[in-house]
Amino acid sequence: MIPTHYYLILSAVLFGLGVIAFIFRRNIITIFMSIELMLNAVNLAFVAFSQAWNRLDGQVFVLFVIVVAAAEAAVGLGIIILIQRNRQSLNVERVDLLKL
């Protein structure tokens, strides 16, 4: 049996890579995908804890996270289409109306 902390460390590494992608990428679609990556990392931790405690609650939470991710993707991609329509660019640096 694989120790639980292997899964948790993998989850932390994937989450960190998602944070790095979030900080360094300029394309708003890629930034959105890095959020999905972070959600996936959290799901992995949920399932690992669910297995470690031998309880199923963690897996139910994973299903809820997936539902929220789907809803978020639908709304977020709608917003991306609006940004492209109004700014003719997907670069987040060009969405700077609130910047001083």
Site string for another protein, 11-50 (x = CB under 8 A): xxxxxxxxxxx-xxxxx-xx-xxx-xx--x--xxx-xxxx
Per-position x/- string for 58-97, each x denoting binding to another protein as judged by CB under 8 A, each - no binding: -xx-xxx-xxxxxxxxxx-xxxxxxxx-xx--xx-x----
> Are the CB atoms for 16 and 34 separated by under 8 Å?
no
Q: Helix H segments across the chain?
A: 4-24, 28-53, 57-87
End-to-end CA distance of the chain: 55
CB of 49 to another protein, least distance (A): 7
Q: What minimum distance in Å lies between the beta carbon of 42 and another protein?
A: 11
